Amino acid sequence: MEEQQLIGLAAQGDNQSIRVLTEQYLPVMLKLRQNYFIKNYDHDDWVQEARLMVYHAALTYDHAQTHSFGAFYRLLLNHRIVDLIRRSCASKRQPNQDILSLALETEEITEALLVTNGAAVDIVHVRQVLADFVHYCSPFEAEVFAAMLLGKAPVKIAAELQVDLERVINAIDRCRRKLRQQLAS
C-alpha cells in the first residue's frame, strides 16, 4: 500500500495504518528522544505521542504542499515534544515533593530520588548504578557531576575549573546520557 493511501486511512482513524506509519517514522521519534528529555516519560509514552502525532499529521496533511509527510510529521512531533517540556516545566505544575535541599548528604539525596513504592530490586539497582557511575565518567565529567550534585550552576563550575561554559554543558549532557543508559541497563 502506498503512503498516500496509508495517510488517508490513518486520517479516518484506521489503527493499522496509524501503526504502520508510526513504525515507518519511528527513527524520527527516536532521534527526538535522544535530543529531548521529558520528565517521567518512558519509551511507551514516547511511542504513544508518536502515534498521536501520526494521526494528527494525517488529519491535517495536505499532499498538495511541497513538503513531504515525513517532514510535516517531524515538525508536528517536535512541536508537541517542546510543548510537553514547556508544560512540565511550568512553575504552577511543579509539585513540592520534587524539591530537594542541597544541604542533604549524598545518601539522603539518593533516598529522596527513589520512588518509595518501588520494588526492592529497583532500589538496589539505582543505588548500585549511582555508586558505580563515576567509573563510567571521564575525570572531567566526574568533577562536573560532583559539582552538579553539590548544587553548583554550570557557570560557576566553568569558572572554578577555568574552562569554557560550553565544555561544562557538554560534560553535563554526556553525564545525563550515560546515567540514563546505566539506569536502563
pLDDT tens digits in sequence order for the chain, 185 residues long: 788 888 888 888 889 999 999 999 999 998 888 888 877 788 888 899 999 999 999 999 887 776 788 888 999 999 998 888 888 777 565 555 555 445 545 555 555 555 444 555 667 777 788 778 888 899 999 899 888 888 888 899 999 999 999 999 999 999 888 888 887 77
- Considering the domain architecture, whether residues 88 and 117 belong to the same structural domain is answered as no
Q: Which of 41, 60, 93 is the last residue of a domain?
A: 93
- Considering the domain architecture, whether residues 79 and 122 belong to the same structural domain is answered as no
- Please answer whether residues 18 and 55 qualify as being in contact, where contact means their C-beta atoms are separated by less than 8 angstroms: yes
| Nearest-5° Cα angle at 183, 80 to 141 | 90
Answering whether pTM is above 0.75, one says no
- Considering the domain architecture, whether residues 134 and 158 belong to the same structural domain is answered as yes
- Considering the domain architecture, whether residues 33 and 79 belong to the same structural domain is answered as yes
- Considering the domain architecture, whether residues 123 and 86 belong to the same structural domain is answered as no
- Considering the domain architecture, whether residues 118 and 165 belong to the same structural domain is answered as yes
Domain count, the chain: 2
- Considering the domain architecture, whether residues 39 and 85 belong to the same structural domain is answered as yes
- Considering the domain architecture, whether residues 127 and 175 belong to the same structural domain is answered as yes
Q: The domain containing residue 28 runs over which residues?
A: 3-93
